A = this chain, B = another copy of it.
Amino acid sequence: MPAQPAEFARKLPRQERAQHTVHSILRATAHILKTKGFAACSTNAVARRAGVSIGSLYQYFPSKEALVAALAEEHAKEGYTLLLETIRTAGEQPRSIEALVRHYIGALVRLHANDPELHRVLMEQVPTIRSGVVAMQQVSNQSAALVRAWLEAHRDQFRELDVEVATYVLVTAVEAVTHLRLLDRPAQLDTETLVAELSQLVLGYLGLGGQHRPRGRPA
- A interface residues with partner B (beta carbon < 8 Å): 37-40, 124-125, 127-128, 156-159, 162, 164-166, 168-169, 172-173, 175-177, 180-181, 186, 188-189, 193, 197-198, 200-201, 203-212, 214-216
Contact = CB atoms under 8 A, between A and B. Distances in A.
Nearest to A176: B176
19 contacts: A37-B128, A38-B127, A125-B125, A156-B216, A157-B212, A159-B209, A159-B212, A165-B197, A168-B186, A169-B198, A172-B176, A172-B181, A176-B176, A204-B205, A205-B209, A207-B209, A207-B210, A208-B212, A209-B211
A25 to B, nearest CB: 22
As for how many copies of this chain the complex holds, the number is 2
Most B CB contacts (10 A, CB to CB) among A173, A177, A210 go to A173
A74 B189 CA distance: 33
